Structure 1
Amino acid sequence: MPASSSFHPAPRRLRQLAVSVPLSLALLGGGLPAVAEEMPRETAPTQAEGLPLDELRTFAEVFERIKRTYVDEVDDRTLLKNAMRGMLEGLDPHSSYLDQQDWQDLRENTDGEFGGIGIEVGMEDDGKLTIIAPIDDTPASRAGLQPRDVILKIDNTPLDGLPMSEAVKLMRGDAGSRIRLLILSEGADMPREVVLERAIIKSSSVTHRLLDPGYGYLRISQFQSATGDEARTALAQLRKDNDATSLKGLVLDLRNNPGGLLSAAVEISDLFLSNGRIVYTQGRLPDSELSFSAKADTPADDIPLIVLINGGTASAAEIVSGALQDQRRAIIMGTDSFGKGSVQTVMPLGNGDGLKLTTALYFTPSGRSIQAEGIQPDVEVVRGRLERDTRRDFSVREADLDGRLDNANGESEAVQSKAPTSPVVAESDYQLGEALNLLKGMNVLDRSAALEAVAPATPDQ
């Protein structure tokens, strides 16, 4: 979609929109939609359009046969709710029906406090419940669970054929209670059992430290309502830790960030941009067409910046990466991102339930839709230690999800730590070490020349 396409400016009273990672769950905290105002109702179908009477008769027939012949008795309310769930889940991987418990879980996740073990999961085409990313500083991350790990069993319940929503409910529980997971890691011959203790997941989405004198590291694990304020505080603390002098460079780490609130993504982008568009959205309804631009009050618009991404970088994290890339504000380094370019709106229903519905696509400042394609880094660096590791760091992407939307372009707790030296960084995290080396190189070269060398200007689209 060309950048010149018309769109409506954001109204003064904005709905909060959600940009959630695929199959994001209340257990997890990433990719969390916000509560929105109720969308205006579209006009009823005209008489000429009518209703598909044959399909309605078939629905009534199926409903009656289930009531009459299913092995167990099923009440009408359960059948109708299941029908509504199926109607939404059949649209795309991100639309879903939310009962009152789901609604409550969603609110808790958006605020960054919820019960569970702290993982982002998705359902692969073969029906396997697979970890997309562990959330930082949670029982899951401390136990060493990794992206691409498959969960085969929760306690004594096999997950084969079990809906993902039911699997999530099994993983939730009171803080302090124990849960056993049977995990099959990628490349392993045999599964292993992992015992975790559930916790109230209430952690900052932002961590920071100095990598070397003058060079900072800012990690954002997900986009929550407080992420913008936390990041602003972290930048101020980094300057203080650097003997109250300006930083020579900063690494913004968005790897394995599953997404979150659109508003938080805009706030983070605005920390580094003093003007220009950040993102805009387009959908069928006029009030789903919004545009967000940077404000002049920017605390870090002159710090050389590198953004780390990988296949677990999704949704709101891709908005930030795309904005900084298109505005030529940062060098994007790592591997291709996940590729989720759709926006979900959460709408309340009269019975106290709600629905999460895909209502728009978002576009980067140059007009790119990344749906099912993702952000390509300016500098590709795969994960590894001292030697190059050619394995894909994350193979499940939006384009792999069953029922995903096609691309609109026509193509298919702030933590203090002792600052390590750069060799230690490179040994423990090859991508981060390379980012630090590039930042140092940018301080030797003219910054604009370095940007042009690794990230040529994006042509008009």
Structure 2
Amino acid sequence: MPHCFRLTALALSLIGLSGVSSVWAQEERPAEVPAAVTPVNGSTAANAAPLPLEELRTFAEVLDRIKAAYVEPVDDKTLLENAIKGMLSNLDPHSAYLEPKDFAELQETTSGEFGGLGIEVGQEDGFVKVVSPIDDTPAARAGIQPGDLIIKIDGQPTKGQSISQAVDKMRGKSGSPITLTIIRNGGRPFDVKLNRAVIKVRSVKAQLLEPSYGLLRISQFQVNTGDEVVKALQQLRKDNKGNPLSGLVLDLRNNPGGVLQAAVEVADAFMTKGLIVYTKGRIQNSELSFSADPADPSEGVPLVVLINGGSASAAEIVAGALQDSKRGILMGTDSFGKGSVQTVLPLNNDRALKLTTALYFTPKGRSIQAQGIIPDVAVAPAKVTPENDPEFFKEADLAGHLGNANGGPDRPTGSKAPNQTPRPQDEDFQLSQALSLLKGLSITRNQ
């Protein structure tokens, strides 16, 4: 594809929940901009304002005073690294200084394997807030939900801790226990006990909900997610006895984002023309645009896209592109609202800067920063409680009734359909609504 960029070690751009930490706990991942984003060039540097000498003198004086008067000795390296962290922390929630351990873990996350609990977390009112649990991880299996506030980790309050400190406490040896104290929807605190694990995330899962209707779930955007989506579409057709699908649900709920190029490739799997996304920034290579090519792995399948407040960044890029191009109907609740792109700029000594370098825009020029994407059809999550249908006296119960003209069997009161195995849509209200909409579209389209 003309818009494909090769990822290199020079720079990895991300669009995930930056500032959000994914609990392996993992620090939130931005969405990836093409690989080699170069540093500010000479002309830009030449036009920059001169160094503020007075402020630099103040910095040197503060450094000297701390070294001389602080209650305990502090070495220069620690003070300077803390100064760098402070410089980044006051830019925006998604820019950060990555020490060797953090940098290595970020690289693991984009490849799809890391250790911990499996939650994307951020901060709210000084507490750790769950952005989304990752599918098939200890956090997801324990029932942790988006919006949960983690107020204690193993009995220690999180109030006042930095997100990195909280994330470090949630990391640990695979199999080791941990207790999170959670407040949900303003209720009373309760404890959730989990065991840490090595998290191997499958970013794409697919299955038939029923004949001709498929579900494609993307839990996060990793380097290979685009290829996995194409393979999943091919497998769904095979599972449907080689016939094209009549409808597909693309589930992006609780998807915290990931690699930008993967988001572009996923959107391109459903689009055959037009702009997918474009970015605007200040440095060389930060202004980019990505367009769809004519190939159509989805075969034009009618599409409903599920989003919610845990759908962020790269997930919002895909949702926005499909909404603006009218390729799919968005259903669910408003998305997270992260419209910035981070670039990982390696430094010496295995360190890196994760720096916000651009804003992204949907094909129609919409920035979703701090606003999110509004679904076309608003459907709040709800618990599905099936009710038994009342039994009615039917024609087949009448003595001497005529048989069916086509020779089919009678269906008197009490006759039951064959036992059906549980299906995802039976307990997922939003998913069942998406499937119902696809069926309605199929009926009207084929009339």
The TM-score normalised by the length of structure 1 is 0.82
| Corresponding residue number in structure 2 for 1:401 | none
Whether the 8 Å contact between 1:153 and 1:181 is mirrored in structure 2 is yes
Listed as ranges, the matches of 1:173-192 within 5 Å are: 173-189=172-188, 191-192=189-190
| Corresponding residue number in structure 2 for 1:85 | 85
Alpha-carbon offset, residue 30 of structure 1: 6.1
Whether the 8 Å contact between 1:19 and 1:33 is mirrored in structure 2 is yes
| Corresponding residue number in structure 2 for 1:97 | 97
C-alpha distance in 2, partners of 1:29/1:121? Answer: 8
C-alpha distance in 1, partners of 2:141/2:330? Answer: 28
C-alpha distance in 1, partners of 2:246/2:27? Answer: 33
| Corresponding residue number in structure 2 for 1:59 | 59
* Equivalent position to 2:236, from 238, 251, 258: 238
Listed as ranges, the matches of 1:48-447 within 5 Å are: 49-124=49-124, 126-189=125-188, 191-386=189-384, 420=422, 425=425, 427-446=426-445
C-alpha distance in 2, partners of 1:76/1:16? Answer: 30
Alpha-carbon offset, residue 184 of structure 1: 2.1
Alpha-carbon offset, residue 432 of structure 1: 1.1
Q: What amino acid is the match of 1:317? A: A
Any idea what the Cα deviations from partners look like across 1:282-335, whole Å, max 9, x if unmatched? 111241111111122221141000001111111000000011111110011111
Alpha-carbon offset, residue 171 of structure 1: 1.0
Worse-superposed segment, 336-345 or 32-41: 32-41
| Corresponding residue number in structure 2 for 1:24 | 20
Alpha-carbon offset, residue 419 of structure 1: 6.8
Q: Structure 1 residues 40 and 438 mapped into 2: Cα distance closer, same or farther (>3 Å)?
A: same
Whose Rg is larger? 2
| Corresponding residue number in structure 2 for 1:413 | none
Return the structure number with greater relative CO, CA threshold 8 A, min gap 6.
1
SS in 1 for 2:161: coil
SS in 2 for 1:132: strand
Q: What amino acid is the match of 2:38? A: M
Whether the 8 Å contact between 2:5 and 2:261 is mirrored in structure 1 is no
Alpha-carbon offset, residue 281 of structure 1: 0.9
Q: What amino acid is the match of 2:198? A: I
Query: Structure 1: 5+ residue runs without aligned partners?
Result: 1-8, 388-417, 450-461
C-alpha distance in 2, partners of 1:169/1:94? Answer: 18
C-alpha distance in 1, partners of 2:267/2:295? Answer: 12
Any idea what the Cα deviations from partners look like across 1:412-431, whole Å, max 9, x if unmatched? xxxxxx9756xx72x52211
C-alpha distance in 2, partners of 1:29/1:95? Answer: 11
Aligned-pair identity in percent equals 56
> What is the RMSD of the two structures over their aligned residues, measured on CA atoms?
2.4
Listed as ranges, the matches of 1:40-51 within 5 Å are: 40-43=39-42, 49-51=49-51
Whether the 8 Å contact between 2:30 and 2:94 is mirrored in structure 1 is no
C-alpha distance in 2, partners of 1:88/1:32? Answer: 15
C-alpha distance in 2, partners of 1:209/1:243? Answer: 13
C-alpha distance in 2, partners of 1:341/1:360? Answer: 9
C-alpha distance in 1, partners of 2:337/2:55? Answer: 35
C-alpha distance in 2, partners of 1:12/1:201? Answer: 27
Size of the aligned set, in residue pairs, is: 405
SS in 2 for 1:264: helix
Q: Structure 1 residues 29 and 152 mapped into 2: Cα distance closer, same or farther (>3 Å)?
A: closer
Alpha-carbon offset, residue 47 of structure 1: 9.6
SS in 2 for 1:252: strand
Q: Structure 1 residues 326 and 33 mapped into 2: Cα distance closer, same or farther (>3 Å)?
A: closer
Q: What amino acid is the match of 2:321? A: A
Any idea what the Cα deviations from partners look like across 1:19-61, whole Å, max 9, x if unmatched? 1213133633863555943623343755993222222222222
Q: What amino acid is the match of 2:18? A: P
Q: What amino acid is the match of 1:311? A: G
C-alpha distance in 1, partners of 2:353/2:289? Answer: 24
C-alpha distance in 2, partners of 1:154/1:70? Answer: 30
| Corresponding residue number in structure 2 for 1:37 | 36
SS in 2 for 1:273: coil
Q: Structure 1 residues 319 and 19 mapped into 2: Cα distance closer, same or farther (>3 Å)?
A: same
SS in 1 for 2:269: helix
SS in 1 for 2:360: strand
Alpha-carbon offset, residue 340 of structure 1: 0.8
| Corresponding residue number in structure 2 for 1:397 | none
Whether the 8 Å contact between 2:244 and 2:299 is mirrored in structure 1 is no
The TM-score normalised by the length of structure 2 is 0.85
| Corresponding residue number in structure 1 for 2:417 | none
Any idea what the Cα deviations from partners look like across 1:174-216, whole Å, max 9, x if unmatched? 2122222222222322x22222111110121112222222111
SS in 1 for 2:285: helix
Q: Structure 1 residues 236 and 419 mapped into 2: Cα distance closer, same or farther (>3 Å)?
A: farther
| Corresponding residue number in structure 1 for 2:413 | none
| Corresponding residue number in structure 2 for 1:458 | none
C-alpha distance in 2, partners of 1:240/1:378? Answer: 31
Whether the 8 Å contact between 1:32 and 1:106 is mirrored in structure 2 is no
